[in-house]
A and B are shown apart, each in its own frame.
Chain A
Amino acid sequence: MLKYTATVTAIGPLTGEFVEAGILVLFGASAPDELRDFAIIHDGVALAAPLASGDVVWVDAQRFSVLAVGDVANENLKNLGHLVLKFNGETAPELPGDVCVESLPLPSVSVGTVLRIEGAERPA
């Protein structure tokens, strides 16, 4: 099932601080300016079901398997459109906000990039 979908609407000028560390930080449209500076801003709104390991994150046509989901990651995404994607291959989240995916080069993201998160399980 499709859990979340969003289109990138803006890219903060300081996003590189996080990209260099293998992290993409996303926030929804309501984020204040100081967070927009560091974040990828998108138009996603509704989280259909909580993220879990085994889900797949699509960034345009690039596929990344979710390996771990921190304790507050779902709350962040649901309330604020806030997602911290770490491309580190970790199977346990280092921090409670983390969503860890495969250790792969970061996808290129620009305005118009579509992000989709699909659940692994099929409906019964």
Chain B
Amino acid sequence: MAEGQYKKVRIKKGPRGWGGPLVVQPKPGKDLIYSVTGGGIHPVAQRIADLCGGKPFDGFKSKAGFEEIAVAVIDCGGTARVGVYPMKKVLTVDIHPTSPSGPLMRFITEELFVSGVRPEDIEVVE
């Protein structure tokens, strides 16, 4: 996809969520919507991909480099994944309404992380 075909999306926290809003804009070579969730591509990841033109990607099925990831979508219960992706400076969306916690919490910031996100919390920014 050419650069002009990507759109910018804004992702805000859902009920009881924390952080964000994040603005995600894929670009060539960095357009994966990286779903690290149980049961394949999560609907939140699919919605982000549909709106911004990024590629849905199942992190449990295939391998990708961090530099290719536009945003990671996780279903983390608060301890591990919640910190791993922000530590790698990857924009991170948790579908569960978690707040910074766990041994890696020092890496979790409002600029990198948003939680409690539902499909309706994602919109295209014109």
Chain A residues within 8 Å of B, Cβ to Cβ: 17-18, 20-21, 23, 25, 30-35, 37-39, 70-73, 75-76, 78-80, 82, 84, 86, 94-98
- Interface segment, B2-10, B48-56, B98-106, B117-125? B98-106
Residue with the greatest number of chain A CB neighbours at <10 A, chosen from B36, B66, B88: B36
Nearest Cβ on chain B to A77's Cβ, whole angstroms: 9
Interface residues of B: mostly helix, strand, loop or mixed?
A: loop
- Are the C-beta atoms of A34 and B103 separated by less than 8 Å? no
Q: Determine if A76 and B84 form an interchain contact, defined as CB atoms under 8 angstroms apart.
A: no
Determine if B75 and A35 form an interchain contact, defined as CB atoms under 8 angstroms apart: no
- B76/A32 in contact, CB under 8 A: no
* A25 cross-chain contacts in B, Cβ below 8 A: 79-80
Q: How far is the CA of A95 from the CA of B101 in the complex (A)?
A: 9
Question: How many Å from the CB of A100 to the closest CB on chain B?
Answer: 12
B43 neighbours in A (Cβ, 8 Å): none
Q: Nearest chain A CB to B86's CB is how many angstroms away?
A: 11
